[in-house]
Amino acid sequence: MKHILVISQYFWPESFRINDMAEEWVKRGYKVTVLTGIPNYPAGKFYPGYSWSKRRRETRNGIDIIRLPLIARGHGPIGMVLNYLSFWASGWLWNRTSKVDADLVFSFEVSPMTQVKIGCGYAKKHKVPHFVYVQDLWPENVETVTGIHSRLVIGPIDRMVDKIYRQADKIFVTSPSFVKAVTGRRVPVDPQKVIYWPQYAEEFYRPLENQPAEQIPDDGSFKIAFTGNIGTAQGLDVLPQAAALLKNENVRFVIVGDGRYKAEFEKHIDELGVRDRFIMVPRVPAEQVPQILSACDAGFISFNKTSLWEMTIPAKLQSYMACGKAIIASASGETKRVIEEARCGICTEIGNAEKLAEGIRSMLDQDTAELGRRSREYFEAHFDKKMLMDKMDSYIQSAPEGRKQ
């Protein structure tokens, strides 16, 4: 069976979907080696027990893990840039001395795109196929997150991305809009090698029958859950504003997670005097999320209004749908398309608290169990793990062999 080299700056114990994909490949008989960094996301500092000198090699669930030295991301832009560049530099050096003998490279690309250059280097040196799974579009992501649009900065990134796409054998993307964005670049990308392969939700995401969660009081309120990173991109300011408009309704918002924007978000909650409408739950292992969702009536998704986020299908959408939850969204683009196709909830104008409050009021009178059933049905038809991993298998098995020197 083939030996897959996974390039991912983030890996267990950091919580990313590539963890589950790698374990699934082992179950399917592949040999898997993961080249990753020292875990430090999202806190910005190395996890306990890890350092430049500790636990640089591990084996977990049959996966060989190689950890490259990098600079922890910290909490500011300089730290993040150093974090990105240090991983790429370590990978560049590793490529020159590595004895790993893989048949295929799979680069799992969430930001930064620079990590994919390591996979390009290995694939070129050993003459093996290179698959790239694009979750964050660059340079669009850089421009959206940083607000930098100068061609002096964006131009070199654009050229790097052009080279990566040209060298890749297959480019998997997470939404139909991403297909258009990649194939429609100024430097054309062969449409035959760009494939829509959406994210799935791990198998532990499944409907649970109202299992009590100790963090969630059973107070009879209509509970709307948001799980995941609390950052500026999520556009969560709309929630306290909507809560202020819903003071006559028995609605509460369950916020599960952490992130750079959390303190500012809680400050906004207090400024509007709606603290009693929010239940703040610290970040929990992903395996605990289904139980929390089972104690809630709907899942919430939002993001800021940018063309990039409109092209994105956020991973939490699949997680909510896998758990059979009704969806409430302050979103547009791909998220709106999925919700409307599934007929599993409501989607209101981005950042419009009045429309969101109206939408929530309308859901109070709807059958959320039926909405949740439709949600799960759509998930099984479009985002099922086995179906998607079987498709990926077909691409891996049909990849050229015998190219290594």
Burial of 369 (0-12, 13-18, 19+ CB in 10 A): exposed
Claim: this prediction has a pTM higher than 0.85: yes
Q: Residue 393 pLDDT more than 70? A: yes
Per residue in 325-341, pLDDT tens?
999 999 999 999 999 99
Q: What is the mean pLDDT of the chain?
A: 94
Extract the tokens encoding 59.
């084996």
In three-state form (DSSP H/G/I as H, E/B as E, the rest C), the secondary structure along 144-192 is: HHHCCCCHHHHHHHHHHHHHHHHHCCEEEECCHHHHHHHHCCCCCCCHH
CA 266/CA 283 separation, integer angstroms: 15
| pLDDT tens-digit readout, 168-185 | 999 999 999 999 999 999
pLDDT for 253 beyond 80: yes
Q: What token pair was written down for 302?
A: 């939002």
Distance CA 55, CA 291 (A): 32
Instruction: Tell me what pLDDT residue 26 has.
Output: 98
pLDDT for 306 beyond 60: yes
Per-residue pLDDT band for 76 (boundaries 50, 70, 90) equals confident
3-class DSSP state of 330: strand
How far apart CA 68 and CA 16 sit, in angstroms, is 18
Q: CA angle at residue 399 from 185 to 5, to 5 degrees? A: 85
Domains of the chain: residue spans and CATH: 3-200+384-398 (3.40.50.2000), 222-382 (3.40.50.2000)
Structure tokens at 17: 């979907």
Per-residue pLDDT band for 404 (boundaries 50, 70, 90) equals very low
The packing angle between helices 18-27 and 385-398, to 10°, is 70
Do the Cβ atoms of 269 and 236 come closer than 8 Å? Answer: no
Distance CA 222, CA 252 (A): 6
pLDDT of residue 210: 67
Based on its alpha-carbon atoms, the radius of gyration of the chain, rounded to whole angstroms, reads 21
Virtual torsion, Cα 291, 292, 297, 299, nearest 10 deg: -110
